[in-house]
Structure 1
Amino acid sequence: MRKLLLFICLCFIINKAKAQSTAEDKLGTWFMYNGSHKLSDKFGLKTMAHFRYYELTENFQQEIYRLGLNYTFNPKVNVTLGLSYATADRTYESPSNYLYEYRYYQDLNLKSFWGEFTAKHRFRLEQRFIHQDFNVDAFQNWLRYDLNVSYPLSKTWSVYALNELFLNLDRGKRFAQNWTGVGFMHKLNNTIKLKAGYFQIKTPNEVLKRLQLGIIVNTDFSKKTI
């Protein structure tokens, strides 16, 4: 019995040591807030704050904040103009160059229905102003396409699948990233939803695995109160 326990412990230690070798072997986590705040029949605000880690709660990777002004043409078409700020650590468990970005972005959002499935398409243009080590500046144009399909399981539960493609328009090899994932959404009330999922980030050099844990807040300030 002692030999068996020793063998199990040894296997656990070896596997743990291997799991710490690279970022690809780790299961990271994104803690997410997303908000949509209706100001009138046509205008609204989009807000976002994400805190991203290479591991469950350790080894900081990125934090990003986003604010946008949204205009709705009809229930199926809307656009957003906004600004993002992000800081990042590009390397896992080793010193990294200081990096931060300002991004302007423009979204075209389309919604369609495939039977009981709801499909949301987002086309995004980004202008990224990248600053590294306070003395290196770069400007890049990115194009992103996100497809998110959801299916209701009940009045309060739904399941979703996503795929988002990233293209860097200023590079010869324009493919930059692809995100693919699935998850569940739970509606607490008309204002708050909770989100939990798993997805993979594929780049030309690696595949990263991530959990998504988020809260979605939708408010309506356009309603008149008496």
Structure 2
Amino acid sequence: MRKLFLLIITLFSLNTFSQNQPDPTKELGVWYMYNGSHQISDKFGLKSMAHFRFFEVGDDMQQFIGRLGANYKFNKNINATVGYAFLNTDETFDINAGDFNEHRIYEDLNVKHKIASLNLAHRFRGEQRFFKSTTGNFFRYQLALGHPIDEKWSTYIYNETFLDFKGEAYNQNWFGAGFKYKISDIVKLQAGYQLINVNEIGNFNRIQLGIAITTNHRK
């Protein structure tokens, strides 16, 4: 009888604990972003990136990601990047359960063009992901549209779909929109919103605050 009583108490406690677990899909998170483009010659450049992604605004960091890539310009509208990314991710929300590291190799093909005053950008990305003794292969396609408001301000909207070569093909989708402000030819600021839909998990709402640095080392 005593063992049965302890078992009931344990099961009740576990059920209560699971019911009280916070739901990360109901929280408004934030991404603090740095993106860099550094032209070395007429054809070659470097792409750099660092993102600090939080489950909540200013609290409970979900992921750090840093990228560094070598970029080659075929012409003014087409360029390609090959690079490496490092990630440190906390899969849990509001629980100190440990992080894991991930390494990625990625390949981008970027194509841009204009329709009147509308700027269109296509990004085709292949990713090889190495984490937890597992290798994943992903393909991502992003369509982005930008429109100038005046000499300083512009607005943008984009959608990016992730395809997984293992398991179900559809993995996740990112949809975002926002504004950019040009401080100078070197520095731009960004503020926007992103809706992330992850297959079989749900939706995540994220504020995006970023800075973009563009440098030209040919001079």
TM-score, length basis structure 2: 0.88
Deviates more, 1:178-187 or 1:97-106: 97-106
Provide the residue aligned with 1:130 in structure 2.
131
Output aligned runs, 1:22-41, within 5 Å.
22-41=23-42
Of 184, 190, 193, which residue of structure 2 is paired with 1:189? Answer: 184
- Cα displacement string for residues 77-111 of structure 1 (whole angstroms, at most 9, x for unaligned residues): 00000000001011111233531111000000000
Instruction: In structure 1, list runs of 5 or more residues that go unmatched.
Output: 1-19, 132-136
Provide the residue aligned with 2:196 in structure 1.
201
How far apart in 2 are the matches of 1:30 and 1:56?
Answer: 8
How far apart in 2 are the matches of 1:194 and 1:93?
Answer: 30
- The alignment status of 1:215 with 2:216, answered yes or no, reads no
Q: How much does 1:167 deviate?
A: 1.0
Q: How much does 1:21 deviate?
A: 3.3
**Letter paired with 1:219:** T
Provide the residue aligned with 2:11 in structure 1.
none
How far apart in 1 are the matches of 2:100 and 2:30?
Answer: 20
Q: How much does 1:120 deviate?
A: 0.6
- The alignment status of 1:57 with 2:62, answered yes or no, reads no
**Letter paired with 1:196:** A
Provide the residue aligned with 1:153 in structure 2.
149
**Letter paired with 1:150:** G
How far apart in 2 are the matches of 1:96 and 1:162?
Answer: 34
- Secondary structure of 2:22's counterpart equals coil
How far apart in 1 are the matches of 2:68 and 2:83?
Answer: 6
Deviant stretches of 4+, over 3 Å: none
**Letter paired with 2:124:** F
How far apart in 2 are the matches of 1:79 and 1:37?
Answer: 14
Of 141, 150, 163, which residue of structure 1 is paired with 2:159? Answer: 163
How far apart in 2 are the matches of 1:98 and 1:169?
Answer: 25
Provide the residue aligned with 1:134 in structure 2.
none
Provide the residue aligned with 1:77 in structure 2.
78
- Secondary structure of 2:184's counterpart equals coil
The alignment-based identity, stated in percent, is 43
- Secondary structure of 1:54's counterpart equals strand
Deviates more, 1:197-206 or 1:44-53: 197-206
How far apart in 2 are the matches of 1:28 and 1:142?
Answer: 25
How far apart in 2 are the matches of 1:66 and 1:140?
Answer: 18
| Contact 2:91–2:99 under 8 Å retained in 1 | no
How far apart in 2 are the matches of 1:118 and 1:160?
Answer: 9
- Secondary structure of 2:25's counterpart equals helix
How far apart in 2 are the matches of 1:66 and 1:118?
Answer: 25
**Letter paired with 1:80:** T
What's the C-alpha RMSD, in Å, of the aligned pairs?
A: 1.0
- Tell me the number of residue pairs that the alignment of Structure 1 and Structure 2 aligns: 198
| Contact 2:22–2:93 under 8 Å retained in 1 | no
How far apart in 1 are the matches of 2:114 and 2:130?
Answer: 36
Instruction: In structure 2, list runs of 5 or more residues that go unmatched.
Output: 1-20
